[in-house]
Structure 1
């Protein structure tokens, strides 16, 4: 929307808002679309050859010829008056879109080709780091989450800052039984780098994961509330690019008091590929019994395809396939999760495979993951975890 508004504003500025010049852009765009749609219908009738196809094909052919002739006349007569912009822009856009489509197809083949290799990895292992900056409701829930997902225990680390509690170590020790010692990190290289240094010291690979649990206590129901916690925000941004590191965000909202006792894990999958298999391997490392994969199907064919591919690849998790009409997973996802969190004793860990790329390719990927993060960040009883799959 912002791009369209910017382009429209530039055109108004270039043509001084002169409608006599702008109308040529509209006419060429509209009649080009008419011509292409009529040509597409002719091709359709020639391929299907249904009853009466000759008459229908002839009608569409006449319509396409008429609109195409109008397009050529406008381009020829008004080319120097501004029609050249659309005449040049349309081929450039088509070539660009074909290039994007070719990139997505090549990328999908690469992800599918790596499925077997990721699925064949040895039994996954996970090491958990809990970032403790204060002893509040978010830290309590994050501690419970770390205990539920770390059968072999976890480490608790504290990054001293100007706003940190100087007496947090003894208070942490008295806050509960069976808690690990709170490690105070050296911040000489920087607060975020102090946590990153601990991550760098841990083994990571196809079968080794490191989970960094970040509690966040929101004072308002606004995404901008994150700006009050610059350390947590920097950690989430920087850790995403680290291979083998999973960032688990534990947000707690104001006036929402939950004491969960049961953790359900749901992996959102769009296809059976290497990124999905890596997320499933991560869930296996957590040792949580109530774990499933979820695919939101846009159609009956989509549901059948994912079930067939799932049965063929044989992932370790059972698959659920809810419907997602209108090709939007937002409302179906919220309804699915709220059905689980309706029980106040249940919290849901939503695991999202996330593609990590370099350069200009970043613009083309992870739109759905970002959408889901924004959608669920302020959802009570939901913990978000991003499992990166790096494609360099």
Structure 2
């Protein structure tokens, strides 16, 4: 079960990329052409019938952090919650059904969170070790059993090979652990397989590594849940027939928790991991003490009927099945910035302790299996049998099974943290749809979480929640990513040739070779058992990501600033609006007072309609320039608004706007929420409250693609905004298509 953490995760300003010197020069030239056909900027500002500054969201220092929570909520735009108005910033729809759905959503998921509300914790080694090791350590709950399940097919002769195969796997654990110590030194900001491979081996190998990770994360959820359910049904056999419903319930629980933005927080993850380590260590110690009491009798020779002979193919299958116990060993190298200073030193120390613990648990379980002659059973796991032998069926046995189920559930949750993050990295690099790059208002990559849930649930149901049938699919993806990551590190050391580069290169080369052996062995030995599914999935993933990148490159070329392609508004003069003849009416009551709404919209002749065009500008490209030109050509007051998640992006947008020529009024709102629709709705309503007599037209640029499936790659902002505003009076949403 791998854990991917990016060296450079997508930042809040990623949607607004830096403009090159050439693009800035083109933007300036476009602005000069606007100067020749439009009125001076001051005239456009004087024509505004409203004050564009409707207030700000509260600054970070104004938010009182709760004592025991990691998240805080903030008030609406302007610092006050307009409770008597029609909408809230956290309500994305205004229909009766939408309002009910929004309230249900907030009850289940909680209110929207500010981007800066997430307290970034630095973990001590005592906390970081269990938090980042739960993935790897949980593998001992099913890795030894997966090894024995294959060897038992050859009877006593096959089981006799369990010791040498287990020792080989332990040597691999040590070698790969040492190689990841070198990765920590080379990537002190965290180096996941996708980042390392892309940096050193190129785009396509990086996508192959990402494909392996994607397959691995889906199977991480399916395998962990299957193993956790097996631990429960071993303790409570009457639940054996409810394996699939129990597993789907656990996946639904993970979905709900992660959509709320649950994070790996300190003691929450540390306690179950430490409990699991202590309980399994207790099983091993109790079993060894009992064996010592008996004078360490010769290993028991179980009587089993062989269904096949001992062949090289059988040994290869057993080896790759047992090697799943070392998955997740790279997790600490990916999360170096999460440690307290000195980060890299603490990370290397924690990695050493993790590998030592993993070796002790894996080796201890295999030793007890040999001493007691324990064999896999259909309705009880090997670890459950060993716990019964050591503690009977009392309290300690229950503790072992409960801690096993808990750590496997937490191990599945690491995939929920990492799958969406890697998907967001791919989206940042234009290899995945853009919606996967955006965080939801609960500071979680909601789209990626939903995709992982659907894929894992389908896999779990398709294989009836059986761990033994899922394992053959599992090793291929993870060891493919391991191999490419370690190979990338070999290239890194060869290029950099810094201090001790030869030693580091040797360790990473050894790790790459061993992981390659496991990958090739798994691909060959388990091809017909299901490994082909993982290989085909990776290949299709790479092809799909390359197609997506080709589309985004085409769109990027079409949107690239070119002086002769920029649309101009024509020689336009804004028409100033007279102030309202009567004082602004009192704020209208909530939805339901239809008489008031009808009175406000009683405009039956053109001269009774007064316009304000609000252009939502994301960045300055040809599509947005065209939308601005369209708005200016209407000869009505125009206000451009840009929502920035950070002050840094706000400053960049303001700088680009001035470079263009500052031709139209621009209001930049620093929005603390990782969503666009709700704050934009809030801003438009605030403008409408200033002048209820105005008809506000919200203008959005919209990409019009030639193929339907390309629409999935772009945000449907216009549709969502129109749905959110359709019941508000005197607000119109229109789009300016840009065909690609």
Give the TM-score normalised by structure 2. Answer: 0.31
Structure 2 spans left out of the alignment, 5+ residues = 1-446, 575-593
**CA deviation vs aligned residue, 1:67-106 (integer Å, no higher than 9, x gap):** 3432222212111101101101101111211111121121
Cα distance in 2, alignment partners of residues 318 and 65 from structure 1: 61
1:296 aligns with 2:635: no
**Please, which of 615, 631, 651 is the counterpart of residue 283 of structure 1?**
631
CA distance in 1, matches of 2:490, 2:673: 28
Residue 31 (structure 1) aligns with: 479
- Residue 712 of structure 2: aligned partner: 363
Per the alignment, in what secondary structure is the counterpart of residue 355 of structure 1?
strand
| Structure with the larger RCO, 1 or 2 (CA within 8 Å, 6+ apart) | 2
Among candidates 700, 709, 713, match of residue 352 of structure 1? 700
Higher helix share: 2
Give yes or no for contact 1:118–1:278 (8 Å, CA) kept in 2.
Answer: yes
When residues 388 and 335 of structure 1 are mapped into structure 2, their CA distance, relative to the original with a 3 A threshold, is: closer
Structure 1 equivalent of residue 459 of structure 2:
11
Cα distance in 2 between the residues matched to 1:304 and 1:55: 46
CA contact under 8 A between 1:279 and 1:352: conserved in structure 2? yes
- Structure 2 CA distance for aligned equivalents of residues 54 and 61 of structure 1: 10
Alignment of 1:219-234 (within 5 A): none
Evaluate the alpha carbon distance shift between residue 69 and residue 379 of structure 1 in structure 2; reply closer, same or farther with a 3 A threshold. farther
| In structure 2, C-alpha distance between the alignment counterparts of 1:9 and 1:276, rounded to whole Å | 40
Q: Is the 8 A contact 2:718 2:733 kept in 1?
A: no
- Are 1:112 and 2:112 counterparts? no
The Cα RMSD (Å) is 4.4
Q: Distance in 1 between matches of 2:476 and 2:465?
A: 18
Alpha-carbon offset, residue 303 of structure 1: 5.1
Larger radius of gyration: 2
Secondary structure class of the residue paired with 1:119 = coil
- Taking a change above 3 Å as real, the CA distance of residues 73 and 352 of structure 1, as seen in their structure-2 partners, is same
- Aligned counterparts, 1:367-382, within 5 A: 367-374=716-723, 376-377=724-725
Q: CA deviation at 1:52?
A: 6.6
Judging changes above 3 Å, is the alpha-carbon distance between structure 1 residues 340 and 68 closer, same or farther for their aligned structure 2 residues?
farther
Distance in 2, Cα, partners of 1:384 & 1:108: 29
User: Which of 370, 387, 391 is the aligned partner of 2:735?
Assistant: 387
Describe the shift of the 1:365–1:315 C-alpha distance in structure 2 as closer, same or farther (beyond 3 A): farther
**1:83-138 superposed Cα distances (whole Å, 9 cap, x missing partner):** 10110110111121111112112112112256643433524799xxxxxxxx9655
For 1:65 and 1:391, the matched residues in 2 are separated by 49
Shift of 1:372: 4.2
Preserved CA contact (<8 Å) 2:523 2:531: yes
Between stretches 84-93 and 35-44, larger displacement belongs to: 35-44
Give ranges in structure 1 of 5+ residues lacking alignment.
127-134, 148-152, 155-177, 181-261
Give TM-score, length-normalised by structure 1.
Answer: 0.53
| Distance change >3 Å, CA 282–CA 82, structure 1 → 2 | same
Task: Specify which structure has the higher proportion of strand.
Answer: 1
Residue 73 of structure 1 pairs with residue 422 of structure 2: no
> Which stretch shifts more, 17-26 or 70-79?
17-26
Out of 102, 121, 129, the residue aligned to residue 550 of structure 2 is 102
Q: Distance in 2 between matches of 1:284 and 1:81?
A: 64
1:91–1:331 distance in 2 versus 1, CA, 3 Å: same
Q: 1:19 to 1:306 in 2, by over 3 A?
A: same
Task: Give the C-alpha shift of residue 387 in structure 1.
Answer: 1.8
> Is 1:268 the equivalent of 2:616?
yes
Classify 1:17/1:124 alpha carbon distance in 2 versus 1 (closer, same or farther; 3 Å).
Answer: farther
Moved more, 347-356 or 9-18: 9-18
Report SS of the residue matched to 2:733. Answer: strand
Match among 663, 667, 674 for residue 316 of structure 1: 663
* Cα shift at 1:23: 2.1
Paired residue total: 271
Contact 2:568 2:629 in 1 (8 A): no
- Alpha-carbon deviation of 1:365? 2.7
Select between 355-364 and 99-108 the one with higher mean Cα deviation.
355-364
| Matches of 1:71 and 1:119, distance apart in 2 | 54
Change (3 A) 1:288 1:56: farther
Give the match for residue 86 of structure 1.
534
Distance 2:683 2:495 in 1: 42
Corresponding position of 1:329: 676
> 2:672, 2:654 → 1: CA distance?
18
Q: Is residue 615–residue 638 contact of structure 2 (8 Å, CA) maintained in 1?
A: no
Q: Which moved more, 1:101-110 or 1:61-70?
A: 61-70
8 Å CA contact 2:559, 2:621 repeated in 1:
yes
Between the aligned partners of 1:57 and 1:81, the Cα distance in structure 2 is 35
